[in-house]
Structures are given as C-alpha cells and as structure tokens.
Amino acid sequence: MPTPFEHLAELNRLVHEPSRLAILTALSACDKADFLFLLNITGLTKGNLSSHLSKLEQANLVAIEKAYDGKQPITYAMLTPEGREALKEHWDRLERIRKGAKALRPLKTTG
C-alpha cells in the first residue's frame, strides 16, 4: 500500500506550483477578477502573473477576457469548469495526503 508521500508525485504540478495555486484559489472565490486585483492579491510581478495566466489559459484552466473601461484596456481572468475541477481535485488530494500522514505511526524498534 503506497504511503501518503508517494501520492505527492501524483499531484498536478501545473496546479501545485505556488503562484498558480494562488491565482486559481483567488479565482475560485469569484466569477472573474481583473489583472490588477490578481496582481495585488498574489504579490506577483506583472510579468510573472502574465506568464502564469498564459500557462493556465493554455491548459484550459483559466479563460482570459480583454475588455475596455472607456478607453482603458482591462484584462479579466476566470476559472473554466476544468479549472474549477482541477483545483477541487488538487485540494481533495492534498487533504487525503494530510489525513494519511496523520495516521502514520513510527515503527517500533527493539534495542
């Protein structure tokens, strides 16, 4: 029977990466968020946020919408259904790993 730690190798690395996990988690709390909101809440630089959003969009976990507020361009990001499911599965898997690790007991040695 595999240990909880062996299940760590099965985590979706695209989702598990801390910056992308922060983005996905922030987006899970709302219908959509603008780029500046994500920038402020994640603490990422503009370039890093843009790069992570692109990777998430390519994987169909996030949808990007470009719009205008008057003449001001604005970029929105939202979770796709696949993104919502991937995030849920990730948190479920982490919870199973956590519970499995809590159940571990050290081997008794004689000596």
Q: Does the residue 52 lie in any domain?
A: yes
Q: Which of 30, 23, 85 is nearest to 54 (CA)?
A: 23
pLDDT digits (tens, 9 = 90+) for 63-75: 999 999 899 999 9
Name the DSSP letter for residue 44.
-
Residue 105 falls inside a structural domain: no
User: Residue 40: exposed, middle, or buried by beta-carbon count in 10 A (0-12, 13-18, 19+)?
Assistant: exposed
Q: Is residue 111 part of a domain?
A: no
CB 4 within 8 A of CB 104: yes
Range of the domain at 13: 4-99
Question: Number of structural domains, the chain?
Answer: 1
Q: How far is CA 19 from CA 16, 51, 53, 56, 73, in A?
A: 8, 10, 10, 11, 24
Any idea what the CATH number is for the domain that residue 18 is in? 1.10.10.10
107 inside domain: no
pTM: 0.86
Look at residue 109 and tell me if it is in a domain: no
pLDDT at 101: 82
62: left (phi over 0), alpha (psi -120 to 50) or beta: beta
pLDDT(1) > 70: no
